[in-house]
Amino acid sequence: MQEQLINRAKELLADGTVVRVLGWRRGDMDYNPEVAYFNSADELNDFVYNGFCGANLSKYMIEASKLEGRTLVFLKPCDTYSFNQLLTEHRVDRDKAYIIGVGCRGKLDIEKIKAQGITGITGITGTPDAVKVSTIYGDFDIACKDIRLERCHVCKGKEHRVYDELIGESADTRDADRMAGVEAIEAMSPEEKFAFFRAELSKCIRCNACRNVCPACSCRKCVFDSTKFDSAQKANTTSFEEKMFHIIRAFHVAGRCTDCGECSRVCPQGIPLHLFNRKFIKDINELYGDYQAGESADQRAPLVSYTFEDAEPGIVSERGSK
């Protein structure tokens, strides 16, 4: 598929449809391609598309929308939800984007490979179903389903929600219940819940990677960076600020988060941040009807809507902690 993408990108550059290409560039390891702009056919020789191209390119389109001319952007099915959401919020310009919906059979998580005790990796090759990891300590064969990103286990499906053309086959890799993690926590006692989140959030280093990678966190200036709320942007001397940060961040993206999973993917401390977002998604679905942010660009988000019969906030204590 990679060759197909490169060739098509070269064509579109050549015929002037686009003036640049936003994609993934080969990294210095097989597992760390980086997001990059390609301005010429020559540069496209470094273009790569493989199982480690998990990065969601839609947020980069905010900056690309400000540039002259059209940008070719490759979006995986789940990335298109984010793009739609950004369209809804007027953060990207549809006319400035030429979207190739790329096929996706699930993306891989290098952390899961490393978690198997594999280190000294010198190369990774593979098929859609399995990879061979070569290391200085020996070679390992691993099934892809064991090393997929968390989000791929709860895949939203193989359909692209917005595109100009499609290249490549996709597969729905869902093999887990999206809300299982949330439900497990909901079933805990308040003490257990508190202990769980305290342990997770105690790791937070306020690096802001989750925020900065998040396509919904597209504010020009985050409230945590401004002085409007007297809120701390950086690590404070106690733990509360981390809680505040993660609650508010999740709240600000509630109803806008497409559950793209980038926050959990990038967290250097492996905090399962999607558990915050999915809690809101679950509540929204249960209380206000099923809603998938980014499914189309003309939806009205749940937090800017209401019905006369909405549940009262007291429902929280009624449902109560177990």
Partner 1 sequence: MQRIGVFVCHCGSNIAATVDVKKVVEMAAREPSVVHAEDYPYMCSEAGQAKIAQAVAEKGLTGIVVCSCSPRMHEATFRKAAERAGINPFMVEIANIREHCSWIHKNIEEGTEKAIILARAAIAKVNLNAPLFPGESRVTKRALVIGGGIAGIQSALDIADAGYEVDIVEKTPSIGGRMAQLDKTFPTLDCSACILTPKMVEAAAHEKIRIYTYSEVEKISGFVGDFTVDIRKKARSIDATKCTGCGVCQEKCHSKKSLSEFNRGLGTRSAIYTPFAQAIPNVPVIDREACIKFKTGKCGVCAKVCAAGAIDYEQKDEIITEKYGAIVVATGFDTIKLDKYDEYAYNQSKDVITSLELERVMNAAGPTKGHLERLSDGKHPEHIVFVQCVGSRCSDERGKPYCSKICCMYTAKHAMLIRDKYPDVKVTVFYIDVRTPGKNFDEFYRRAVEEYGVNYIKGQVGKVAPQPDGSLLVQASDLLDNKQIKLKADMVVLATAIEPDPSVRPLATMLTASIDTNNFLTEAHPKLRPVESPTAGIFLSGVCQGPKDIPETVAQAGAAAVKAIGLLAKDKLTTNPCTAKADELLCNGCSTCANVCPYGAISYETKLINDHGIREDRRVAVVNNALCQGCGACTVACPSGAMDLQGFSNRQIIAEVDAICR
Partner 2 sequence: MPVNEKTGEFTPKIVAFCCNWCSYAGADLAGSSRLAYPAEVKIIRVPCSCRVNPMFILRAFEKGADGVIICGCHPGDCHYSTGNYYARRRMTLLFSMLDYLGVESGRTRVEWVSAAEGVKFSTTMNEFAAKIHELGPNVRLEDLRCKNN
Partner 3 sequence: MAMMKITREAMPALYARIAAEQSLILPVKTAGQTNFAAWEEGADVDLYTLKTVKSAKDAFFPQSENLYTCKTEDKKITVTPEKLTDEHFVLFGIKACDLRGIEVLDKVFLSEPIDTFYAARRAHGTVVALACAAPSESCFCHAFGIDPTAPAGADVVIWPVGDSFMWQAQTEKGEALTVLAGDLLTAAAAEDETALENARTFTKNIMTKLPYADLSLEGWGAGKTDEKFNSPVWDTLYKSCLACGTCTFVCPTCQCYDIKDYTTGNGVQRFRCWDSCMYSDFTMMAHGNNRTSQMQRFRQRFMHKLVYFPTNNDGMFSCVGCGRCVDKCPASLNIVKVIRAFEKAEKGETK
Q: Which residues of this protein are in contact with partner 2, per CB under 8 A?
A: 182, 185-186, 188, 190-197, 223, 229-231, 237-238, 240-241, 243-244, 247-248, 250-251, 254, 276, 279-280, 283-284, 287-288, 302-308, 310-317, 320-321
* Residue 303 binds partner 1, judged by CB under 8 A: yes
The residue count of the chain comes to: 322
Q: How far is CA 80 from CA 15, 86, 97, 321, in A?
A: 25, 10, 12, 36
Binding map of partner 3 across residues 258-277, x = CB under 8 A, - = no contact:
-------xx-xxxx------
- Contacting partner 3 within 212-241 (CB under 8 A): 212-213, 221, 225, 230, 232-237
Task: Encode 209-224 in three state secondary structure.
Answer: HHHHHCCCCCCCCCCC
| 3-state secondary structure (DSSP) of residue 10 | helix
* Interface segment toward partner 3; rule CB under 8 A; list 73-81, 130-138, 275-283, 306-314: 130-138
Alpha-carbon distance of 77 to 169, in angstroms, equals: 11
Closest approach of Cβ 124 to partner 2, in Å? 37
- Strand order in 20-25's β-sheet? 34-38, 20-25, 71-75, 97-102, 165-167
In angstroms, what is the minimal distance from the CB of 91 to partner 2?
Answer: 22
- Say if CB 21 and CB 71 are below 8 A apart: yes
The answer to whether 200 touches 134, Cβ cutoff 8 Å, is no
| Backbone φ, ψ for residue 73 (5° rounding) | -130, 140
Examine residue 138 and tell whether it contacts partner 3 (CB under 8 A): no
Q: How far is the CB of 84 from partner 2 (least distance, A)?
A: 22
Rg (C-alpha) for the chain, rounded Å, is 21
91 binds, among partner 1, partner 3, partner 2, none (CB under 5 to 8 A by kind): partner 1
Contact positions vs partner 3 (CB under 8 A): 27-29, 32-37, 55, 60, 119-122, 135-137, 199-200, 202-203, 205-209, 211-213, 221, 225, 230, 232-237, 265-266, 268-271
Contact positions vs partner 1 (CB under 8 A): 66, 89-91, 218-223, 226, 228-230, 252-253, 300-301, 303-304
